[in-house]
Amino acid sequence: MGSDGLIPPPGKGLGGPFWLLLVPHRDCQKELRTYRRALFGGGLAGAFSFPEAVPLALLARPLTKEEAARMGVLLRAATRAGGGWFRAGGNLLTAAPPPGAPRRGPLAFFGPRLEPDPARVLAESGLIRGAPVTDAPLVAALLEEGDSERIARGLPPPPPLAFRAASLACCVITPLDSGAEGLSFRWRILPGVWLPSCKKTGAPA
């Protein structure tokens, strides 16, 4: 993709597949991290197994800046009715494609449900050239799918998270040989593109 993609220039490239993520501003990430610590302290091994972001799609190649910019405009426009904000409203549990292969069984994403749902907005837009995630939370943890519903029922609700500033970025995730079996990954989030300001899309400032 070279320097026009959301990936380092030739010579510094990474193999796919690539996760497309919506990465909230670091202030929101701090609040989510606190929630993750509470989940981990409660025995949830997968509380730090995925980036502090919303998974939007699995892609064979990274986005170009132009593709990311179009998606960013669409996502910002979707927040117009809410004053430009993404807001958390309870938790969401949804099946997850394996972040990295190989692994033994399926996983589930667990975390705050956002309104509007950025994954659904992009999945319905037709802009994704890959495997979109139709419903996805701001991930606080990965759960083993076989036990996910039972576990999720006993977990605390998320804090009242909200953010305007966020970026679209691609990420490469690979499994680790050590750590919690089937739930240990490392990732590299590549340089992203910020969503446009509310003023540029007509959302209330």
Q: Is residue 7 part of a domain?
A: no
Look up the CATH number of the domain holding residue 190.
Answer: 3.90.1140
Q: Is residue 115 part of a domain?
A: yes
Q: Is residue 3 part of a domain?
A: no
Across the chain, the runs of DSSP E, i.e. the strands, are 18-24, 54-59, 86-96, 107-115, 130-132, 141-144, 162-163, 166-175, 185-189, 193-194
Q: Is residue 94 part of a domain?
A: yes
Please tell me which residue, 174 or 194, carries the higher pLDDT value.
194
Q: Is residue 131 part of a domain?
A: yes
In angstroms, rounded to a whole number, what is the distance separating the alpha carbons of residues 191 and 90? 30
Q: Is residue 4 part of a domain?
A: no
Map residue 113 onto helix, strand or coil.
strand
Q: Is residue 9 part of a domain?
A: no
pLDDT band at residue 153, thresholds of 50, 70 and 90? confident
pLDDT tens-digit readout, 87-118: 998 888 888 766 654 445 678 899 999 999 99
- As given in the structure block, the two tokens for residue 27 are 């202030």
Count how many domains the chain has: 1
Q: What is the pLDDT of residue 162?
A: 94
Q: Which domain holds residue 29?
A: 17-199
Q: Is residue 117 part of a domain?
A: yes
The DSSP code for 203 is -
Q: What is the mean pLDDT of the chain?
A: 82
Answering whether pTM is above 0.95, one says no
In angstroms, rounded to a whole number, what is the distance separating the alpha carbons of residues 166 and 21? 10
